Amino acid sequence: MNTLEVKNIKKTFKLSKKQQKIEKTDIKLKIAVNDLSFTAFPGEIYGLLGPNGAGKTTCLRAISTLIKPDEGDILVGGSSVVTDSFEVRKKIGFLTSELKLEDHFTPNYLYTYFSRLHNVEEDVIEERKKVLFERFGIEEFKEVKVGDLSTGMKQKTSIAISLVHNPEYIVFDEPTNGLDVLTARSVTDYLVELKESGKTVILSTHILSVVEKLCDRVGIIINGKMKISDTLENVKKTNSNNDLEEIFFNLVKEDELAGGGF
């Protein structure tokens, strides 16, 4: 019941003429994810791997209820993104570069604003804000407008805001993007803490070392399809050298040889 279950989801997009030109194709429909399934468990970090355009972000957007799958369903703690997206939104903390913060406001204002939208009690808002702001070093720039912050500062603020409601399910898309080594480390350490406190964490990244260090389970998506999904240990076992990078490249190559389509 406390799992995050992606069940055979399919999502197609209509390509505009402009997009057809960019992708150099005549095909009007693009299948972004096709029959994708995996399950993430509490107390674990599930790493979603895949090259650019493989369908990772589409999958994460579907989990976050920003888009609805054409087929299949995603159950977040038993709530369906198709029929009960409102409940799903209460349970998840979502971070992706697509979610921007308004330049005009300060991290302090936005934290309180999103906490209220998540129906967090006023005293809890302040308490949790103090912890998260200290943790990610936001305290010193909390009254600076987002528009005047550096990329790293913005990313830290976004992370804190995605966690205002202390969600049970955390979906982070490339969380260490734009962060320096020290801050990136504080983020990955925090993800481990979240996992240890029993949260279900999904992490999408293309940094294989991060996956190896943090993830308990791994799923590799190529061309919208889940090529492999298992514990990190079992995935590694599929290669004689136990080398995740090699496994990843072999799968990409295999797919290319097979024509790369659906």
Partner 1 sequence: MKNIVTIFRKEFYRVMSDRRLIFTAILLPGLAIYIMYTFIGSAIGGEIEDITQHKMIIYTENLPTEVQNYIYTQEINPEYHIYDSAEHDELEEMILNGEVDMLIRFEETFEDDIDNLIVTGIQIYSNPGEKYSEYTYNVITNALHSYANVIGIERYGDAYYSFDMSSEIIMDEEKAAGQNFAMLLPMLIVMFLFSGAMSIGPDSIAGEKERGTIATLLVTPVKRSEIAIGKVLSLTVISMMSATSSFIGIMFSLPNLMQGAGDNLDVFIYGAWDILMLFSVLLATVFVIVGLVAALSAYAKSIKEASMLIMPFYFISMALGISTMFSGEASSELWVYFMPIYSSVNLIIAILTFDLSLTAYLITISTSLIYVAIFVYILTKLFQSEKVMFSK
Cα–Cα distance for residue pair 62/133, rounded to 1 Å: 29
Examine residue 218 and tell whether it contacts partner 1 (CB under 8 A): no
Length of the chain, in residues: 262
Given 25, 83, 99, 234, the residue binding partner 1 (CB under 8 A): 99
Given 21, 53, 117, 127, the residue binding partner 1 (CB under 8 A): 117
Given 34, 57, 58, 64, the residue binding partner 1 (CB under 8 A): 64
Q: How many residues bind partner 1 (CB under 8 A)?
A: 27
Examine residue 98 and tell whether it contacts partner 1 (CB under 8 A): yes
Examine residue 124 and tell whether it contacts partner 1 (CB under 8 A): no
Given 10, 90, 142, 225, the residue binding partner 1 (CB under 8 A): 90
The CA dihedral of 173, 177, 180, 182, to the nearest 10 degrees, is 10
Alpha-carbon radius of gyration of the chain: 19
Examine residue 66 and tell whether it contacts partner 1 (CB under 8 A): yes
Per DSSP, what are the bridge partners of residue 218? 47, 230
Given 5, 39, 42, 67, the residue binding partner 1 (CB under 8 A): 67
Query: Which tokens in the block code for residue 50?
Result: 């895949």
Examine residue 114 and tell whether it contacts partner 1 (CB under 8 A): yes
Are 88 and 5 a contacting pair, CB within 8 Å?
no
Shortest gap between Cβ of 17 and partner 1 (angstroms)?
13
Look-up of token digits 């803490």: 193
Identify which range of 110-118, 193-201, 220-228, 249-257 contacts partner 1 by CB under 8 A: 110-118
Examine residue 104 and tell whether it contacts partner 1 (CB under 8 A): yes
Query: Which tokens in the block code for residue 246?
Result: 């090699």
Residues contacting residue 101 through CB under 8 Å, at least 6 positions apart: 110, 146, 154, 157, 158, 161
Shortest gap between Cβ of 111 and partner 1 (angstroms)?
12
Examine residue 237 and tell whether it contacts partner 1 (CB under 8 A): no
Looking at residue 47, its amino acid is G
Number of Cβ within a 10 Å radius of residue 203: 27
Under the rule (CB under 8 A), what is the footprint of partner 1?
Answer: 64-68, 86-87, 89-90, 92, 94, 98-105, 109, 113-114, 116-119, 161
